[in-house]
Amino acid sequence: MTYRPGASLTTATTLGYADTADLGPTAGNGFRTRWPDDLAALQQQGLTDVRITLDWARLQPKPGTVDEHWVELFEQVLQAADAIGLRPWACLHDGSTPRWFDNDGGFDDGENFTTWWPRWVERAAERLGDLVGGWIPFACLPEGAPDQPWVDTWGILAGGPPVVASIGGDDIGPLGGRFDLAGVALAADWTTDAVVGERQLAAASDRWGTRLREIADAAGTGLVVPGFTAGHDDGDTAGEIVATLRSVLDEATDDGVPIDVAFVEPGIAGPDSPPSLLDQDRAPTASCVAFLGT
């Protein structure tokens, strides 16, 4: 593979959502204490990159404040990943937000979003930016998000490690050139218990391949798949879906599509999470074998 294979460590599966988050509290998978072994387990499977969410609700439990305990923990995780050859990418939002931000309207309130999001980006870059190999500010841009927070995000992060913009459609006009790499979402269109056979996989393959090529042409940059989820509850079926993803990525890169890294999530299963690369016992799954050939 010419692209780098990565795993997404989402807040939902690793730490669980904090009691200071809009969706919390929820249980995690033990990553808080097991992270040295967890990172090593991912690296041993052949992964080269890891997407780690800097949990906004934990790092800023109150407006304008920083929890130094959590800063120290994330410093250790990022440093450890880099030390064993896992390039760490920092994600700043992958599902939950601080409760104080949500109480003021969250992302649905344009003024609230435009005010508080850039301040969070500034603080994350100031405290942890020297330890990351790339930025994925949003795993997926909030629907209907105004342009200004992205403009501010680019202004803060540009010039350092590469910044990924999640491209929602084929039109990148509002983003202009304000990104280093284009994030391409490759979504499943079946239900989590659907029968997914050759016809469905062939249709998905065509759709994903077309999307990669369209975004590459529109963006004129390298691509990142910021977090592919198989979208199915059955582990064997999820493995077949991930095998299809790998075929699509391999064919696209063979055709010259510049894919930098593709992340599959969850990297490690959490309570009630969909099939992952490693299960809760940290054993490789069918998806791991399909993605990495291990």
Question: Domains in the chain, start-ordered, CATH in brackets?
Answer: 4-292 (3.20.20.80)
Residue 177's pLDDT is what?
85
Q: Cα separation of 234 and 94, whole Å?
A: 23
How many helices, marked H, and strands, marked E, lie in the chain?
A: 9, 8
Query: What letter represents residue 102's amino acid?
Result: D
User: Are the CB atoms for 14 and 28 separated by under 8 Å?
Assistant: yes
Q: 78 by DSSP, 3-state: which? A: helix
* pLDDT, mean of residues 24-50: 97
pTM: 0.96
Mean pLDDT of 210-227: 94
Q: Average pLDDT, stretch 171-182?
A: 83
Query: What is the rounded radius of gyration, in angstroms, for the C-alpha atoms of the chain?
Result: 18
pLDDT tens digits, 178-213: 999 999 999 888 999 999 999 999 999 999 999 999
> What is d(CA 282, CA 294) in angstroms, rounded to the nearest whole number?
14
Is pLDDT at 172 greater than 70 in this prediction?
yes
Q: Cβ distance 244 to 205 under 8 Å?
A: yes
Give pLDDT, residue 165: 93
Q: Are the beta carbons of 292 and 278 closer than 8 angstroms?
A: no
